Amino acid sequence: MWKITIDDDKCTGCGECVDSCPGEVYELKDGKAVPVNVDECHGCHTCEAVCDEDACHVEEDE
């Protein structure tokens, strides 16, 4: 299981995480990325890699 957080202060709503996520975890709502399908997260950290603002964070949930 994975814990996904988005730093709203850093997120610019570019949609890179939405477009690149293989699990379709994210959607854009009100101009910000929102994790809506957390159970589909593969833990691949692609969202972190494509986020130029360092707004996406994926951690293993204990």
Q: What is the pLDDT of residue 56?
A: 98
Helices (H), 1-62: 16-20, 46-50
Distance between CA atoms of 18 and 34, rounded to whole angstroms?
9
Q: What is the pLDDT of residue 62?
A: 77
Distance between CA atoms of 40 and 30, rounded to whole angstroms?
22
Distance between CA atoms of 12 and 18, rounded to whole angstroms?
12
Q: What is the pLDDT of residue 23?
A: 97
Which pLDDT band holds residue 61 (cuts at 50, 70, 90)? confident
pLDDT digits (tens, 9 = 90+) for 4-60: 999 999 999 999 999 999 999 999 999 999 999 999 999 999 999 999 999 999 999
Domains, the chain, in order of start with CATH, read 2-60 (3.30.70.20)
pTM strictly above 0.85: yes
Strands (E), 1-62: 2-6, 26-29, 32-35, 56-60
